[in-house]
Structure 1
Amino acid sequence: FASAVQTTRADTIAPVNDTPSDKATWNFHLTAPRGWTPGANGERTGKRPVGDGSKVTWDYELKSPMATELMGISVGRQTELRAKGPHGLALRHLVPSDQVELYRPIVEKTGEQISWMEKQLDAAYPFDVYGMQILKDGYTAAMENQTLSLFGPGWFRDADKNEEYTTTMVHELTHQWFGDSVTPSDWQQAWLNEGPAVYYAARWADEKGYESMEEKMRAAYSELDDVRRTDGPPGRPTELGGFNIYDGAAVVLYALGQETGRHTFDRIMGSWVKRYAHGNASSADFIENAVRVSGDSSLEGFLTHWLYDTENPPMPGHPDWT
């Protein structure tokens, strides 16, 4: 069993107010047959036998507030791998027990990725623990469950040939800042989650030589123009999970960086995750923060057009993009 309850399925397994604006700290107590390993968000605080000892209850505590859609609980034939990350950060991963040596070198790349993200944002990882949970089968996506990102095995099918799978790892790691720590006030603001995750994964891929960020953004810019009219602009989507709030929102951030320059853009993004850490925020808050950090009042109109217009604004620095 593993939960991937985004966006509004948490209330099928727990009595919760299933909205991103109602965050809370959590304790989990998971009982499973002996020989099976439960996992959950946060740090394990203990485990104890139940009754005749044929079952065991595992206790977890998440001290930082979490939205319901980020609940990541599981029970499986899985092995916990522990390590230390940057500045002593606790790392713990859950991998299939019969595939430990396959996944050990993959999860060991997490520390480097955390250091890289901290450098991009000039902001420390926002929680007390992080790790990956890799399922053996039955799941094909990836999910940013808070402190314990969830992955289907398909992402790592070619891990012995190249390391492009690390781009997906960085995408889900980025969510720990954007979406998990700073959570949108409602689902209309979902671009605040997915835009940064796509953007920083693209920056990582560009630096590693996997894919040109400029070419990726150029292609997405071209596609976004039609998507704005059919599915809504990035800041006002007609439904969740579309191109507009993923690659389209990354294009908005790319445009902001082209307008302000890399240094100011990085200051805006770093200020965002520090100012609203462990809370909720909206698109209006993002625009206000960009203006405040940059000292440029024109960014209010700039971002308003990029987020809400039904046609693409011109891309700064790229007048040939259509």
Structure 2
Amino acid sequence: MIKTGPRFTAMTAPLPSTIRQEAEAGRRHTPDFAWRTLLLEVELFLIFIAATVAALAGFIPMWLGMIGNTVFIYALYTVVHEAVHANISSRRRSLAWVDTLAGVTACLPLWLNFHQHRRQHMVHHARTNEDDDPDIYARGGFWGWLLVRLPLALVGYFNPVQQYRDCRRFGCTRQEYVFTFLGFSAGAALVAAILAMGYWKELLLLWFVPWWIGQTIMLTFFTWTPHHDHHETGRYRNTRISLFPFANILLQGQNYHLIHHMMPGIPHYRYKPVFEELRPVLEARGVRIEGIFPDPRNEGPPLSAGTPR
């Protein structure tokens, strides 16, 4: 075997498929119904309500309310993500409406459109790191991401023309067009009403600033970090594992993002045990197991399709 750092060329025969073993591990860790995700949503909304009311009433300083609402915004996307994959209803398909209800509710403070986003996210899974991946805008260096590409993406959330284009791009149905623009219009009307009542400062400090910071942190660790440098497309290399102290809590399981892409039906709070069970299999296949940030030795164009790792 000839090694050149983490990216090496193995002079051995291809490893036998372990897809069945991986699928069996996934099935064992998939619950009938993900009550923990619904509980997370309730807890987060309670944080938001408590922080907002307490800040407005003067019981806590405004900066503390901002921190509480930033945590709320950052963590809430996990509920949307689970709902998009129908991981809340899980094996109880008759309860799929719960995913939609939980997802739509969680999308409201995030200024997301659930039905459109669900279609977009499914394309991301099907085309991960390819040029038509919806998340390919994250391809590139960290500072370009943080200072240019991410801010432009966040501004696009408030552009109705962009929302229309995304509906077209991802094949939304007529009904989903209606849902998207009703939601966008309702949000815009609410913001306009709050501004008209003179509460611009409260809106800025208790929603918009937390939204911008929370989305920045979430998208960095859900989009840029897991897939960087956004070139490889293989099952075991299109994303990575990120191990550092308290990572599983701070990133709500997304430090095991590879497990999600391999088996998207597993709830976020079960990624860790699946990874631990399959770690020898994954290591044998050259999975990227790194720290909080991507290892620069793994960056660069992908190895040729016929080159074993």
Richer in helix (by share)? 2
The normalised TM-score by structure 1 is 0.26
TM-score computed with the length of structure 2 as normaliser: 0.27
- Normalized per residue, the structure richer in strand is 1
Higher relative contact order (CA 8 A, sep 6+): 2
